[in-house]
Amino acid sequence: QQVSVEVLEHLEHLALVDFRDAEGVRRLQKAIQFADQLHEVNTEGVEPMDSVLEDRCLYLREDDVTEGNCTKELLENAREKVEEYFVAPPGNIPLPKLEERETFLQGS
C-alpha cells in the first residue's frame, strides 16, 4: 500500500517521527498492512475496553533503587543530548522538504 506524501507529512507532524529514508517508509507500510488485518475481525457487540487488565486488581510494588550512578553510560545511548539530558522526542528534528520526500517515496 502506497503512502502519500501528505499522509507522511501528517504522521510526522503528529508523532514527531522522521520518515526521511526509504527504510522508514517501508516500516510504516508494513505497520499499515499489519493493522489493516484488524478490519477483518468481527467486533459487532464487543464493548470497548479501557485496559486489557481492567478486570484485575493491579498491585503497586515498592520502587527500590538497586543500581545507580550510571548517568554517563545512559547518555551514551542518546542520539542527541543537551548537558545531562536526552533531547526528546528524537524524531523532533528538521524534516526534508516535500520535493525530497517525493523522491524516495517513488522508489519504495
Tens of pLDDT along the chain (108 residues) come to 677 888 888 887 777 677 777 777 888 888 888 989 988 999 899 888 888 787 888 888 888 878 888 888 888 888 788 888 887 765 555 555 556 655 555 655
With cell 493493522, the residue in question is 35
Quote the pTM value: 0.41
Task: Label residue 19 exposed, middle or buried (CB < 10 Å: 0-12, 13-18, 19+).
Answer: buried
With respect to residue 31, please indicate whether it lies within any of the assigned structural domains: yes
**Looking at the 3D structure of the chain, how many domains does it have?**
1
With respect to residue 46, please indicate whether it lies within any of the assigned structural domains: no
DSSP state of 24: H
| N residues, the chain | 108
With respect to residue 84, please indicate whether it lies within any of the assigned structural domains: no
Nearest in space to 3 (alpha carbons), one of 37, 24, 29: 29
With respect to residue 81, please indicate whether it lies within any of the assigned structural domains: no
With respect to residue 47, please indicate whether it lies within any of the assigned structural domains: no
With respect to residue 29, please indicate whether it lies within any of the assigned structural domains: yes
Show the domain range for 9: 1-41
With respect to residue 68, please indicate whether it lies within any of the assigned structural domains: no
With respect to residue 5, please indicate whether it lies within any of the assigned structural domains: yes
